[in-house]
Structure 1
Amino acid sequence: MLRHFDARAAKSLSPGQHIIISNYPGLRLTATATTRTWVYRYKSPIDSRMRQTALGHWPAMSFPAAIVAWEKLKADREKGIDHALVVKTNRQEKRKVEETKSLIDVENAYTVRVLCDEYLQGHVNQHRAKKGRTEIARMFNTMLGEVSNLPASSITRSIAFNLIQSYATSSPVQAGKLRCELGAAWDYAIDSGRLPETVANWWRLILRGKIRSKGKTIEGVKIGTAKRVLTEMEVAELIEWLPNFTKPLEDVLTLYLWTACRGAEIVSMAGSDIYEKNGQVWWSIPKHKTKNSRHEKATDQRVPLYGRALAIVKRRKLLFGDSYLFPMRDRSSHIQQKYITEQVFYRQPYSKIRPNLNRPRLTVTHWAPHDLRRTARTILAELGCPDSVGESILGHMLPGVVGTYNRHQYDTEKQEWLKRLSDHLEGLVA
């Protein structure tokens, strides 16, 4: 401890040592390997803890200048001001402001568009079929509008409601799908930690149960949402009319009736999917081609072929071998289910597509290809087919505990009831 400052003593300090100036309580000069620093050490007037604050480096700050700084801080302490605590608090507040700003910048950069893209890449592209992936990407690209550029964390209930409601009146089905996919995208972002758990998923909460399809309108007449099932008389008339289609179309529509399978499964049929066992020809639909492909417990679907369905498959297998039996012209892939639907609509008497071009017009009207699948299932029920067998023929997974415990494939029963269906359809035509 020195009563007066000694420059030679200051220069001779080793790292970690310090000089206390007795005439100025709390003032000391501390040494490190490279610096000498004036420090004011004191007891806090706020919490009585010992604190210290740096005044400046010697010799840049002379002894008299250090005394001036010490006197100011000592006066502040006597007024109840803890200078070191003030500096610490200011530093913490500054850091908090910077962190908040940084967080805001990150949130602003994480827009709805970025969130949707991550959902597409991380989930949709991994678990959905190509058709589903394409449709969801199209919705995000065309339906988000200005909402696309908003920070995802800033979406309010009002913003979510206005976006979905803008489509609900004119396109309720599309509005419902958009709401569902955005809800799933928000769940994905929250699960991955890209959105805080405190962010509300408004897409799940708005308009629940309030978006309903009004059904089709044909020639100004509302058809509604009723599911079309052709009568037996209409089925007979339609079968007689089918040769007016091109051969691929006629064959696909015939297979709808004779197998009750989905259109996407029919058009993707390949010759390699056909095999014979114990005199029975089977069409084995690989799991990845079915609508159940995403379900772990789903299996390949086996369809026994009879009557016209068997004749069609044998004829087309002779033409195309193990490749797609309904190929596109360049053989790169198979024709699409959408093409079948479009061609059926094109031949409806109320179709206004290319009205000046003459073509055969359907005599059985107001139906779509999928209605033939529903018609075949209805005929099976009318013939007495048990529900479990009928649902298995459709390729539906049995629901609830029945599906969990009953893993029977119903191959024998399928043979019986699809043979009956074939005979019944031929009987209608006869």
Structure 2
Amino acid sequence: MNVKEIKANIKSCKTLRFSISDGLYIKPNKNKKSGAWELRYTINGSRRFMTLEGSNFPEMTLTDAKALANNIKQQIKNGIDPLAERARRNEEHIITITDLFDDWYKGVSHKLKHPHIQLRYFNNEIKPQIGRLKITDVNARDIRSILQKAVSEGRPSIANKALLQCKQLFKHAQKLDLTTSNPAIAFNESDAGGSGQSRTRCLTLEELKSTFSTFRKHSDIFTRDNYIAVILLLALGIRKGELIASKWDEFNFDGLLWQMPKERSKTGVAITIPIPTELLSYFEELKVRACGSDYLFPARRASKRRAYISDDTLNHALAKMFGMKVDSNKKPYPNLLGEANVEYFVIHDLRRTCRSLLAELGIGNDIAERCLNHKIKGVAGVYNRYDYLEERRSALSTLADLVIPLTNDH
């Protein structure tokens, strides 16, 4: 059948498809001007039709269609089912490191207590450097670059976590037969951040006073929302993640109580947090600033991922005040807090500072530990189920009386 005959048959065809020659068919399109090239073949006793990939007739000429069909027939003679191979090829979408992470994360996220942490490590540490690379193109030098960057920025524990995630990702790639090697496997803690050591940084009252004073002087850098968040972290001893994800419907301001659900408590246990009256004005201000959002700290830009601020928002804001570079497109600010004689600290150090201040105020260990929502270990944790609510209310009120004057807000 020649081209002229094919065009005539497409216009007049009354069946689903018509034969051209030796297993090659055309399936007319609705417009009756073109048609899809198809090949009929038999393998393992089954007869099948497959559409030839590329273009329809007349874009793909009769000569090209015959040539492609002959190549496929040769595969069939060698026992290869072209439709099965096509299906396999279509499923092989894990090409880059980002593809690999997405596949790995989909399988483990439901098993993790805080899956967003793994997502943050990848997005912040790994994806910017190797996310677009093919899995087989990543080498040990790429892994070393990720680790060295985190260490050079004073984040050794993050370097360790990034290394662990790299090892997990390439182990997953090996399971899927996507690579035969793991470029991260030869590295250990000594190549990353070293053996983990607990931080001991705790701010003095004088440092707290200087810190808040510096924040106020540079409110264009350290915004009012961030300022209030730091006060609440210090005065309540809560974890950053527990605060930034909090919603207004968790609060009973008439009863001065915050009912934190177990889903957001790091311990996995719901807790009732007493709210000192000294902090009410801050919550009232946040309510106004939230502009109707369900969250105390709504996202500051449109985001499909979540409706409250990023886990890194406060970290980056504080880092800027220490003159650290957190935005690759902007020149870092001077070390404003360092110039105010404040030694470097991170957001989580506020929680340790809160615990130390409670001890200085003479608050009992059991009460102070419950204020920080720490799990009580051992036998005491099993049998002592007392909540210490009123004792914590008194303790946090005493702490607020000490902390609030340092902010010079009231």
Aligned residue in 1 for 2:207: 234
Would the aligned equivalents of 1:239 and 1:254 in 2 still touch at CA under 8 Å? Answer: no
Would the aligned equivalents of 2:249 and 2:294 in 1 still touch at CA under 8 Å? Answer: yes
1:129 aligns with 2:99: no
Query: SS in structure 2 opposite 1:178?
Result: helix
Aligned-pair RMSD on alpha carbons?
A: 4.6
* Equivalent position amino acid for 1:124 in 2: S
The correspondence for 2:136, drawn from 122, 133, 149, is 149
* Equivalent position amino acid for 1:382 in 2: E
The correspondence for 2:105, drawn from 120, 136, 140, is 120
* Equivalent position amino acid for 1:233 in 2: E
- Partner Cα separation in structure 1 for residue 145 and residue 96 of structure 2: 18
Give matches, 1:300-311, under 5 Å. 300-311=270-281
Give matches, 1:82-121, under 5 Å. 117-121=102-106
Would the aligned equivalents of 1:301 and 1:395 in 2 still touch at CA under 8 Å? Answer: yes
Would the aligned equivalents of 1:119 and 1:185 in 2 still touch at CA under 8 Å? Answer: yes
Would the aligned equivalents of 1:344 and 1:369 in 2 still touch at CA under 8 Å? Answer: yes
TM-score scaled by length of structure 1: 0.53
Would the aligned equivalents of 2:121 and 2:162 in 1 still touch at CA under 8 Å? Answer: no
* Equivalent position amino acid for 2:391 in 1: E
TM-superposed deviation, 1:424: 2.2
TM-score scaled by length of structure 2: 0.55
1:282 aligns with 2:253: no
- Partner Cα separation in structure 2 for residue 407 and residue 137 of structure 1: 39
1:316 aligns with 2:286: yes
Assess, with a 3 A threshold, how the Cα gap between structure 1 residues 187 and 420 changes in structure 2: closer, same or farther: farther
1:335 aligns with 2:312: no
* Equivalent position amino acid for 1:238 in 2: T
1:250 aligns with 2:237: no
- Higher-Rg member (1/2): 1
* Equivalent position amino acid for 2:287 in 1: K
1:397 aligns with 2:367: no
Would the aligned equivalents of 1:264 and 1:336 in 2 still touch at CA under 8 Å? Answer: no
Assess, with a 3 A threshold, how the Cα gap between structure 1 residues 121 and 260 changes in structure 2: closer, same or farther: same
- Partner Cα separation in structure 1 for residue 250 and residue 210 of structure 2: 31
1:380 aligns with 2:354: no
- Partner Cα separation in structure 2 for residue 270 and residue 283 of structure 1: 10
Give ranges in structure 2 of 5+ residues lacking alignment: 1-87
Query: SS in structure 1 opposite 2:312?
Result: helix
Deviations 1:178-236 (A, max 9, x none): 3322554577789xx868xxx99997x85555345379xxxxxxxx9964321112223
* Equivalent position amino acid for 2:162 in 1: L
Deviations 1:97-144 (A, max 9, x none): xxxxxxxx9xxx999968755422211365343353243366564448
Aligned residue in 2 for 1:213: 193
Assess, with a 3 A threshold, how the Cα gap between structure 1 residues 251 and 144 changes in structure 2: closer, same or farther: closer
TM-superposed deviation, 1:364: 5.0
Would the aligned equivalents of 2:238 and 2:372 in 1 still touch at CA under 8 Å? Answer: yes
* Equivalent position amino acid for 2:320 in 1: Y
Would the aligned equivalents of 2:251 and 2:259 in 1 still touch at CA under 8 Å? Answer: yes
Aligned residue in 1 for 2:297: 326
- Partner Cα separation in structure 2 for residue 345 and residue 401 of structure 1: 41
The correspondence for 1:344, drawn from 300, 312, 318, is 318
- Partner Cα separation in structure 1 for residue 376 and residue 166 of structure 2: 29
- Partner Cα separation in structure 1 for residue 148 and residue 101 of structure 2: 24
TM-superposed deviation, 1:243: 3.5
Aligned residue in 1 for 2:59: none
Deviations 1:32-90 (A, max 9, x none): xxxxxxxxxxxxxxxxxxxxxxxxxxxxxxxxxxxxxxxxxxxxxxxxxxxxxxxxxxx
Deviations 1:230-275 (A, max 9, x none): 1112223334454342321221121122112222322233221211
* Equivalent position amino acid for 1:299 in 2: V
- Partner Cα separation in structure 2 for residue 130 and residue 146 of structure 1: 23
Would the aligned equivalents of 2:202 and 2:352 in 1 still touch at CA under 8 Å? Answer: yes
Query: SS in structure 2 opposite 1:120?
Result: helix
Aligned length: 295
* Equivalent position amino acid for 1:324 in 2: Y
Query: SS in structure 1 opposite 2:190?
Result: coil
Identical positions, percent:
21
Assess, with a 3 A threshold, how the Cα gap between structure 1 residues 183 and 311 changes in structure 2: closer, same or farther: same
TM-superposed deviation, 1:376: 1.4
Assess, with a 3 A threshold, how the Cα gap between structure 1 residues 147 and 286 changes in structure 2: closer, same or farther: same
Query: SS in structure 2 opposite 1:284?
Result: strand
More deviation, 133-142/229-238: 133-142
Assess, with a 3 A threshold, how the Cα gap between structure 1 residues 396 and 241 changes in structure 2: closer, same or farther: same
* Equivalent position amino acid for 1:213 in 2: G
Deviations 1:328-377 (A, max 9, x none): 456872233422232333334687954799x9997353333333222112
Would the aligned equivalents of 1:272 and 1:322 in 2 still touch at CA under 8 Å? Answer: no
* Equivalent position amino acid for 1:281 in 2: L
- Partner Cα separation in structure 1 for residue 298 and residue 230 of structure 2: 16
Aligned residue in 1 for 2:165: 181
